[in-house]
A and B are shown apart, each in its own frame.
Chain A
Amino acid sequence: MENIFSKYEPVIGLEVHAQLKTKSKAFCSCSTEFNAPPNTNVCPVCLGHPGTLPVLNRNLVEFILRLGTATNCSIRTRSIFARKNYFYPDLPKGYQISQFDQPICEHGKVAIGDKTIGITRIHMEEDAGKSIHDMSTDESLVDLNRCGVPLIEIVSEPDIRDSKEAYDYLTMLKQLVIYLDICDGNMEEGSLRCDANVSVRLKGAEKFGTKCEVKNLNSFRNVADALDYEIKRQIELIEKGGEVTHQTMTFDARNKATIPMRSKEEAHDYRYFPEPDLVTVYVDEKWKQEISSSLPELPHIKTKRFIIEYNLPEYDAEVLTQSRELADYFESVCKLIDKQSYKTASNWVMGEVMRVLNEKKITISGFNISGQNLAALVKLIADGRISNNIAREVYSEMLMTDGPEDTKQDPEKIVKDKNLLLVTDTTEIEEIVKKIIADNPKEAERFRAGETKLLGLFVGKVMKESKGKANPKTVNELITKNLGNN
């Protein structure tokens, strides 16, 4: 059977909500703290009491402008808020303050590898509260702490063609919001939420197929799985002679399947209208300039610079620039070492350092070894003063110290105190070599007879005798010399 799936092209657009890292809510001074006891971060404004007035948090605008600028959006000079009306108990006002026809950021684009994904719009809005349904059969409980927490919604163009691209796009967005320091990017905790619009069409067709909206994608894995399932479902439906109907689906992560949500009797009717309680947001050229000039070096630019400046493979550069802090750490190491050691430093950061971060589930800011001390360790290796094996031993010692202020973390000191320096003093090594040869006369005989592969055996014995401290290069030379002499 010819693969039916290859005849079709999926068309995907993503709507991503990012919860902003502001200290206070969008329109009132309540704290945005996560996991506070229920209904303790609330005030008359976010509880929707009559007679209260919202006042916009400056950082909400500041943060969205950072992302808008970083994604090449055009920034609307004057934008307004709108009320999106719907009824739900976790929305006490009966409307969500959002933006409708005048979003603050529009027409942006981002690059995923060689591909460009368009950004339709990025707008500001507020989050709703949380309803708990499973406590009783006929009642729901409502916690309004999250009500009014600032969100931005990032709507992509339908430029995404498969689940891999969707995954990469999300990964890039996550990295970007973390770099810009506007959102913690934690999808599992709901700081990033994703809905997908999916349709399929025959390859070459111009018209889009009928789309379905898939909601509740709360992990990167789920997004990819849900898209794969939904694409397959639509293609199979069409192949069977059916027709895709516009509906909203939810993703059942356990069965890896999209299932239709119970359809509403009423179609969406949000009756948007301009929010009369908030004034126009005016972003002049000066503000735009301030934002552009205050942006940090963006991830893709940093990656490119790392490849050139530190002469690293693309893979290394991408791993090291995953987060600003990790990149800064790597650079603090490189500042103190020679050009020839950059790759060694990269191997250490990507290997031993990241292994510890993963094991301890911490970020580099919580890592106890300073860049300065790691640089000192790399230098010891580069200068041939310790071997890689001994370096790992020194590293373990460094890990057990309290932090960079702890003088015990200095690798020079560890190496001296524990007497771990490689012995390059030839007389000292030669003594050991002679002893080993004398102790193994039969093997020495066979070596001289041409069984040169026995060199390894001698090197091993000498290294063992020297407790791993003999410089392997020197050992090699001395054994060949001494065995040849006789």
Chain B
Amino acid sequence: MSVTIKDVEKIAKLAKLKFTEEEKIKLQGEMNEVLGYIDTINQIPGLEDVKPLENINDTENVFREDVSEKCLTKEEALKNAPEKTENFFKVPKVLDK
């Protein structure tokens, strides 16, 4: 299975990124290399007995108690936003969800 330019365009769109035609070709090559590496791994014998790794930690059940704390002020929260009003983050209009 190899990556087509269409695949690159789809992934770029999902990631909200724009690329030139030249860059797309470069990315296509890099993605195919990654997939080729995965293909190589897939040839390791006995792989079907290996469970997928869901977490690199061996621990289970790390919890917080349900206690609420004040954290940031509104001013702090909005401080790094490129666009804001007094109370809100401001973003270009996006309608479809």
Interface residues of A (CB under 8 A from B): 22-24, 28-33, 37-44, 47, 55-59, 61, 78, 80, 85, 87-89, 131-133, 136-144, 261-262, 264, 266, 269, 271, 274, 276, 278-282
Contacts and interface: CB of A to CB of B under 8 A. Distances in A.
Contacts of A88: 94, 97
Residue among B13, B54, B74, B85 facing the most chain A CB atoms (10 A cut-off): B54
B63 A57 contact: yes
20 contacts: A22-B66, A23-B67, A24-B66, A31-B68, A38-B74, A38-B87, A42-B71, A47-B72, A55-B63, A61-B63, A89-B94, A131-B94, A137-B93, A139-B93, A140-B93, A141-B88, A142-B90, A261-B96, A274-B54, A279-B59
Given A43-B71, A281-B61, A133 B95 contact: yes
A282 B91 contact: no
Nearest to A38: B87
Nearest to A274: B54
Contacts, number: 138
Residue among B66, B77, B88 facing the most chain A CB atoms (10 A cut-off): B66
Contact of B63 (A38, A41, A58, A141): A58
- Majority DSSP secondary structure for residues of B touching A: loop
A24 B64 contact: yes
B72 A266 contact: no
A144 B78 CA distance: 10
A214 B59 CA distance: 41
Nearest to B88: A141
B73 interface: yes
A23 B96 contact: no
Contacts of B77: 39-40, 42, 47, 144
Contacts of A278: 55, 62
B60 interface: yes
A57 B91 contact: no
Interface of B: 10, 13-14, 16, 52, 54-57, 59-74, 77-78, 83, 85, 87-97
Contacts of B16: 87
A37 B90 CA distance: 16
Contact of B71 (A29, A78, A136, A279): A29
A280 B90 contact: no
Given A38-B88, A141-B85, 6 more contacts: A29-B71, A38-B74, A39-B88, A41-B71, A279-B57, A282-B60
Given A61-B63, A262-B96, A264-B96, A44 B91 contact: no
Contact of B61 (A32, A59, A262, A282): A282
Residue among B10, B14, B72 facing the most chain A CB atoms (10 A cut-off): B72
Contacts of B71: 28-30, 41-44
Contacts of B57: 279
